[in-house]
Structure 1
Amino acid sequence: MTLNIVDRHQLILKKLEENGYVNVNELSQDFNVSVVTIRKDLKLLEERKLLFRSHGKAVPANPYIKEHHVNIKEKIHPQEKNRIAKAAAASLAPYDSIIIASGTSVIEFARHISATTEDLTVLTASLNTALILSENTNIDVMQLGGIVRKSSSSVIGPTAEKMLSEFTFTKLFLGVDGIDLEFGLTTTNSMEASLNKEMIKAAQKIIVLADSSKFGRKGFGKICGLDEVDQIITDNNIDKKTKERLTELGIDVTIV
């Protein structure tokens, strides 16, 4: 029996809730209707703000991220960021030399780094992070130079990238704006993405600090694919299927 439009829409939304996305071709086959019909269905549901269409599929909400100032972003999911930061700080080892990128998750991480961490060297793009860690006499802090990106209180540009090429580090602690299972890690600024790429080249282990709201989202600038990530520290609201997929990709997923 052919489904009517109401039944199709209900089933589309159910599949979307269960799987996190729906595919146009698969829906066409499942419902025994044309691809054109499914596209019209998805368009109507998008107009009702029930989903977001993207390249032959649909997802629950617009995955593209608008840029916000760091002071605003600090107020988003603060408890989750606090737990993530504590777990990241606990992973530090004596004589580590680390890179701390930019963003609110890594600023919170800096607040939890203990002054008793033995012979820790930190290079950072974040002005706030450098100020926080400069109060710890046990920590050697190196501030990257370059163009100040005011919205994130961090530096970007070729000067910072060149400086990175002179060193090697044990770990990179990276904050991101989006994690897409197919597209990889992203940020809202292309120059920041470029600097993050150089940070990845300079570090032996790549650790991403990201609350669960970052999954399924995309920023303007691609940093890297998930194949370059060693560990993701996130909160316990991460979707089970997302965690399973990350584990399949060989990523150590730490849930706090």
Structure 2
Amino acid sequence: MQSDRINKIQHHLYSNGFARVEELADATGASIVTIRRDLQRLEENGIVTRTHGGARLADGAGPEIAFQARAQDHVEAKRAIGEVAFGLLRPHTTVFLDAGTTVLQLARRLRLEPLPLTVFTNGLAVAQELVNVENVSVNLLGGQLRNENLSMVGPYAEQMLGELWFDQLYLGTSAVRDDARMYTLNPAEASLNRVMIGRTSQPIVLADSSKFGDSAPYAVAPVTAAHTLITDSRLDAAWKTRLAELNVAATVVPLGRTS
């Protein structure tokens, strides 16, 4: 409960800038006394700066909060996809988990039920999720830190990938455009993703239904590059038909009805 409330406070401040205590209480359903106590703790941790009657995000806290906010988008679908992806993991293999927020849900599922795996990742949040998880060996790529995605990118990361081979790759995507290609928001991320795909025989794409028909500027690869694609049942019928026509091995995870 407290963790959910703290996340809501952070996301509200990220979206709105300054917010009054009363506004945060309404947004979280908590009392004003509770919100003031939460803000004090967040300020002690360097996440917010309290002002008269309210608070704003502290300087430098934006990228992490932005990542957390994206992680909460379509979280039901991401968790369901992560659960199905977990079922594809095989003990005593080497896998790559990319820095996407849907893949992060897979890492969280692995933390709950560890398997003996060697994991490589370029995602700081993914690596942090798997710290001290029994039987999971975690390896983080070097390179340049991309703040917006808490990920490592660039030529050094690509060079390291070129010396590795993975039994499976679990890859997220920012968008699957109407040309049936996967896209992302950053050119270095797109370049690294292409190298990832070339270092495995089983690229497994995790993409919730909101990504289909969406747009991002930098092409990664055709969706047909996926050995397996896992999405959710809110994917519209036209895209389901399209994936079948492209012979993409798609697993559609059932979700509850939208309200």
Please say if 1:167 is aligned against 2:168. no
User: Which of the numbers 198, 203, 206 marks the counterpart of 2:200?
Assistant: 203
The aligned runs of 1:1-256 (5 Å cut-off) are: 69-114=66-111, 117-256=114-253
The superposition leaves residues 3-23 of structure 1 with CA deviations (integer Å, 9 ceiling, x where unpaired) of xxxxxxxxxxxxxxxxxxxxx
Structure 1 segments (4+ residues) deviating >4 Å: 114-118
* TM superposition shift of 1:96: 2.0
d(CA) in 2 for partners of 1:75, 1:116: 22
Secondary structure of residue in 1 paired with 2:189? helix
Which of 1 and 2 has greater Rg? 1
CA RMSD of aligned residues (A): 1.5
Secondary structure of residue in 2 paired with 1:237? coil
The superposition leaves residues 12-38 of structure 1 with CA deviations (integer Å, 9 ceiling, x where unpaired) of xxxxxxxxxxxxxxxxxxxxxxxxxxx
The superposition leaves residues 60-103 of structure 1 with CA deviations (integer Å, 9 ceiling, x where unpaired) of xxxxxxxx931221121111111011111111112221111112
Aligned residues: 189
Secondary structure of residue in 2 paired with 1:202? coil
8 Å CA contact 1:115–1:137 kept in 2: the answer is no
d(CA) in 2 for partners of 1:116, 1:138: 11
* TM superposition shift of 1:213: 0.5
> Which runs of 5 or more residues in structure 1 are unaligned?
1-67
* TM superposition shift of 1:181: 4.1
* TM superposition shift of 1:118: 4.2
Change in CA separation of 1:165 and 1:181 when aligned onto 2, cut-off 3 Å: same
Query: Normalization by structure 2: what TM-score?
Result: 0.70
> Which runs of 5 or more residues in structure 2 are unaligned?
1-64, 254-259
Q: Could you tell me the percent identity over the aligned residues?
A: 35
* TM superposition shift of 1:183: 4.6
* Higher relative contact order structure (alpha carbons within 8 Å, sequence separation ≥ 6): 1
Query: Normalization by structure 1: what TM-score?
Result: 0.70
d(CA) in 2 for partners of 1:242, 1:170: 28
8 Å CA contact 1:80–1:235 kept in 2: the answer is yes
d(CA) in 1 for partners of 2:80, 2:142: 30
